[in-house]
């Protein structure tokens, strides 16, 4: 999570931003993401730093704080060339923070868009420097796990690898959310798709794809939905057309399907340095071997990136200035690392060429708007596209599952078309122009904002466009640098649901004039991206909610969203009360002597909310087999559903903005990362 404005420029501070964090004077913002805000800071002697502060919602979550603490421990172990050093951190603060050196420059993504592929000595310097960075990471016993173009900065001094937000120790120890796959499609190794393995070999697979992308400007496994890209990664050959032959041979070894066939980062750095030396002989002469220090000189000598500066760094930004939150394409050196106990800790750096001093010592939500539980949908009897109030409780409005049933000549003619919307169709789409399109755009944006606000993700504001020929509405997000995969998945689900329900109502109300029935949710990886990644697509004639035999069913995606900490006060309050009541009810059943066993851990039961399908999810981590039998599971489901429906319906009647009436229960057996559903249902308010 880190991003800055174009060219690394400082954005004005926003109302409520701190003037100091630890020992650093804050002069503005460098960016924001799903987990926190990155501030532009200065030390007492004027050193430029990036200070990342975690969002309050995440800071209140013990699991997230533990992950943050663990990640700082890992990051403090990593020092080396072409890395952004961690300078200080206070993971125990009320608002946990960490500080890294500031590294100006574009991400690889933006450079490729603006300047085209890297060539000659700069390409070989890039390959050598990034391999050196991974060698240092692996030597420290750490696996990066998120090597991708958005996490590499092309600074004037050389490439810099950053963002350890999902790093883990090579011995496998980490603190991560159960059941969530980490990483970015297209930059995930085959073995991780197959078995969830994340070792140094996986980093090298991503390195091979990264260097190929830098050399050609096209993704080696193409674009498309995550499952399509995953299939190519697992079964297809990478597209290396355009890669210089000598480098291509190295990349083919790095991109081998079998992890044991891949080269190590140390070997990759050595072999790339030989290619670099052959390119740089006219720049850096002299005999001798290729020691690490000399390799660093080669990288610097062959590197060709302009020096950047921003006058804003020389004077504090006005704290009264306000600018709407923006998405950006150039990343600061907020290498997402985690925290360690004991308050503020300063970390020494070694050999950093970004201008950071050897050490820096140091002694800090968007409130959801009313109705943050989800924008109420209009009744089917309302005129589509209007905002008129209905005397009927809007929470009871039914989304039509088959809005074109019985319509002889509907305007939407692509029903049943399962083809994925193309980049050409996305580029041909335009902003809303008719009153009906503008109403639909507002409804989609409002619904998404209310869903995302409950997870403190409303900074991901969508753009809604229309392609009448394709009869498709496009919902586009991004770019947000280094956004966690789980946050992007919530954006996809919110976009799918908002577009589907809005179009279903429009089709029902105006079946012979409303032409839009398909929708696609896409993500731009950088400003100016003309081929955004398609996150999902569908049509509003198939029903918008997950149902089996007409009954709503929870699913793994809902569990993953529910596992993200909520920032909505009502949700937090109801979740706490329901969690305590469920635990008490379960313990009471155990005490009755029905052959039920307690869970191994006192905190084995968790509860969260999915604002997309408006459902409460409860899951148990069963490490010792307390729920192995059918009777035990039936008892647990009954206990949970009884208590949960009681709490949900009580809130429904007392709170007019509350619309959670669905529930789902699951269990994680042993160390499984996948929830096993026990049952789902709907409460009757």
Encode pLDDT of 192-216 as tens digits: 888 776 789 999 999 999 999 999 9
* Structure confidence at residue 314 as a pLDDT band (50, 70, 90): low
Report residue 497's pLDDT band, with 50, 70 and 90 as the boundaries: very high
- Cα separation of 660 and 651, whole Å? 9
Q: Rounded to whole angstroms, how far apart are CA atoms 261 and 222?
A: 23
- How sure is the predictor about 629, in pLDDT bands with cuts at 50, 70 and 90? confident
CATH class of 106-307: mainly alpha
Q: Per residue in 440-488, pLDDT tens?
A: 999 999 999 999 999 888 888 899 999 999 999 999 998 876 677 788 8
Average pLDDT over residues 186-196: 82
Name the nearest CA neighbour of 284 among 299, 262, 304, 266.
Answer: 299
What value does the mean pLDDT of the chain take? 79
pTM comes to: 0.51
Contacts of 654 (CB under 8 A, 6+ apart): none
pLDDT at residue 7 is higher than 70 = no
pLDDT at 294: 56
pLDDT band at 295, cuts 50/70/90? low
In DSSP terms, 497 is beta-bridged to: none
| Lowest pLDDT segment from 46-50, 183-187, 207-211, 429-433 | 183-187
- Three-class DSSP labels, 332-376: CCCCCCCCCCCCCEECCCCCCCCCCCCCCCCCCCCCCCCCCCCCC
Q: How many other CB atoms are there within 10 angstroms of residue 95's CB atom?
A: 16
Q: In percent, how much of the chain has pLDDT > 90?
A: 35
The pLDDT value given to residue 349: 55
CB 296 within 8 A of CB 81: yes
Catalytic residue positions, numbered: 146
The pLDDT score that the predictor gives to residue 382 is: 36
Q: What is the pLDDT of residue 297?
A: 65
Candidate ranges 63-72, 147-156, 320-329, 372-381; pick with highest mean pLDDT = 147-156
Residue 369's pLDDT band, with cuts at 50, 70 and 90, is very low
pLDDT surpasses 80 at 311: no
Residue 615, pLDDT > 50, answer yes
pLDDT at 253 over 90: yes
Using CA atoms in the order 337, 341, 344, 350, what is the torsion angle rounded to 10 degrees? -50
Separation of alpha carbons 24 and 344, rounded Å = 12
Instruction: Return the bridge partners of 49, or none.
Output: 41, 101
Give the Cβ contact number of residue 116 at 10 Å.
10
C-alpha span between 306 and 553 (Å, rounded): 55
pLDDT digits (tens, 9 = 90+) for 10-40: 788 887 788 899 899 999 888 776 678 889 9
Question: Among 255-259, 554-558, 585-589, which range has the highest average pLDDT?
Answer: 255-259
When pLDDT is cut at 50, 70 and 90, the band that residue 511 belongs to is: very high
Is the pLDDT reported for residue 281 higher than 80? no
- Cα 41 to chain centroid, rounded: 25
Residue 348 vs residues 15, 71, 74, 100, 363: alpha-carbon distances, Å: 33, 17, 14, 11, 16
Q: What whole-number distance in Å separates Cα of residue 118 and Cα of residue 398? A: 54
What number is the average pLDDT over the span 267-278? 89
Residue 325 has pLDDT above 60, yes or no: no
Q: Are 187 and 210 in contact (CB under 8 A)?
A: yes
Q: Tell me: cis bond preceding 353? Omega within 30 of 0 counts.
A: no
- The residue-averaged pLDDT of 351-368 equals 33
Q: For the domain covering 1-105+309-357, report its CATH number.
A: 3.30.200.20
pLDDT (tens digit per residue) in 122-155: 999 999 999 999 999 998 888 888 899 988 999 8
């Amino acid at each position: 999570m880190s991003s800055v404005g174009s060219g690394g420029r400082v954005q004005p501070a926003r109302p409520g931003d701190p003037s100091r964090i630890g020992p650093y004077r804050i002069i503005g913002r460098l960016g924001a993401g799903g987990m926190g805000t990155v501030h532009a800071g200065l030390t007492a002697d004027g050193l430029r730093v990036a200070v990342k502060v975690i969002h309050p919602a995440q800071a209140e979550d013990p699991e997230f704080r533990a992950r943050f603490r663990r990640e700082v421990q890992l990051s403090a172990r990593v020092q080396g060339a072409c890395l952004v050093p961690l300078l200080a951190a206070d993971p125990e603060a009320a608002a946990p923070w960490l500080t890294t050196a500031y590294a100006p420059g574009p991400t690889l993504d933006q450079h490729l868009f603006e300047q085209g592929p890297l060539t000659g000595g700069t390409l070989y310097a890039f390959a050598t420097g990034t391999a050196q960075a991974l060698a240092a990471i692996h030597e420290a016993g750490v696996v990066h796990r998120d090597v991708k173009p958005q996490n590499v900065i092309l600074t004037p001094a050389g490439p810099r690898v950053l963002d350890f937000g999902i790093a883990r120790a090579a011995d496998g120890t980490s603190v991560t959310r159960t059941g969530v796959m980490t990483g970015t499609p297209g930059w995930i190794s085959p073995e991780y798709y197959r078995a969830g393995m994340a070792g140094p070999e996986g980093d090298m697979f991503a390195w091979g794809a990264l260097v190929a992308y830098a050399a050609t400007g096209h993704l080696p496994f193409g674009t498309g939905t995550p499952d399509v890209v995953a299939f190519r990664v697992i079964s297809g050959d990478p597209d290396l057309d355009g890669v210089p032959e000598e480098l291509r041979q190295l990349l083919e070894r790095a991109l081998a399907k079998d992890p044991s066939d891949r080269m190590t980062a140390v070997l990759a750095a050595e072999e790339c340095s030989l290619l670099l030396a052959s390119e740089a002989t006219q720049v850096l002469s002299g005999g001798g071997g290729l020691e690490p220090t000399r390799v660093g000189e080669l990288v610097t000598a062959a590197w060709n990136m302009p020096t950047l500066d921003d006058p804003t760094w020389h004077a504090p930004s006005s704290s009264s200035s306000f600018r709407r939150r923006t998405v950006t394409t150039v990343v600061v050196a907020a290498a997402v690392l985690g925290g360690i106990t004991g308050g503020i800790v300063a970390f020494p750096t070694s050999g950093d060429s970004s201008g950071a001093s050897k050490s820096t010592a140091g002694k800090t939500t968007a409130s959801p708007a009313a109705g943050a539980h989800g924008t109420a949908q209009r009744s089917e009897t309302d005129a589509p596209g209007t905002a008129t109030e209905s005397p009927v409780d809007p929470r009871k409005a039914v989304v039509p599952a088959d809005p074109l049933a019985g319509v002889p000549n509907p305007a939407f003619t692509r029903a049943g078309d399962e083809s994925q919307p193309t980049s050409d169709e996305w580029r041909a789409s335009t902003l809303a122009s008719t009153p009906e399109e503008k109403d639909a755009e507002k409804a989609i944006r409002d619904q998404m904002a209310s869903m995302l606000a409950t997870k403190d993700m409303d900074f991901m504001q969508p753009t809604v466009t229309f392609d009448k020929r394709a009869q498709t509405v496009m919902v586009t997000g991004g770019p947000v640098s280094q956004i966690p995969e789980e946050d992007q998945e919530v954006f996809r689900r919110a976009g799918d649901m908002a577009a589907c329900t809005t179009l279903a109502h429009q089709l029902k109300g105006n079946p012979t004039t409303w032409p839009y029935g398909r929708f696609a949710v896409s993500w731009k990886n950088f400003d100016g991206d003309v081929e955004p990644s398609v996150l999902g697509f569908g049509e509003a004639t198939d029903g918008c909610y997950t149902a089996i035999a007409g009954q709503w069913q929870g699913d793994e995606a809902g569990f993953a969203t529910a596992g993200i900490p909520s920032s909505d006060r009502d949700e937090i309050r109801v979740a706490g009360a329901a969690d305590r009541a469920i635990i008490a009810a379960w313990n009471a059943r155990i005490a009755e002597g029905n052959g039920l066993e307690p869970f191994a851990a006192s905190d084995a039961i968790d509860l969260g909310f999915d604002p997309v399908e408006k459902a409460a999810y409860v899951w148990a981590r069963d490490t010792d087999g307390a729920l192995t039998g059918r009777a035990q599971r039936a008892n647990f489901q009954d206990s949970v559903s009884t208590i949960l429906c009681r709490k949900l319906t009580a809130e429904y009647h007392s709170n007019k903005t509350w619309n959670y009436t669905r529930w789902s229960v699951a269990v994680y057996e042993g160390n499984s990362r996948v929830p096993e559903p026990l049952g789902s249902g709907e409460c009757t308010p």
